[in-house]
Amino acid sequence: MRAPPGLEKVARDIMTHFEDRIEAMAGKGMFVCMSRAICVDLYNQITASRPEWHSDDDKGGGVKVVMTGSASDPLGWQKHIGNKMRRDIVASLDEVAGHLLCYSSLFLKAS
């Protein structure tokens, strides 16, 4: 799953399906990542294809990774690791139509 060709296809399928879905009707979607590493890799793949979905602001952008972690996790994961307050802010995005919710760790929303 984490191999680049497979991950690219999954990310492309998720983005296409989500964009088609929100074009047809308001709402939200959900998918679950198998691991924190996959969620971070998917985030990187999605934001490379849809840079407008990225925002450093927890309440902005269209894609978020929310996960627990520690200072010993890889440096590239640190921006996604937050305290309970941050996780609650991003998790509350699921109450707004136009979000793709990627539970266990990754959240997307239409811009």
Least confident of 2-11, 16-25, 36-45, 81-90: 81-90
pLDDT of residue 12: 92
Question: CA 59 → CA 8, 16, 38, 62, 71, distances in Å?
Answer: 26, 23, 23, 9, 24
CA distance 49 to 8: 10
Q: So what's the pLDDT on residue 30?
A: 65
**Is the pTM here over 0.75, yes or no?**
yes
pLDDT at 105: 47
Q: Is the pLDDT of residue 51 over 60?
A: yes
Mean pLDDT, range 77-87, rounded to an integer: 82
How is the chain split into domains, by residue range? Answer: 4-109
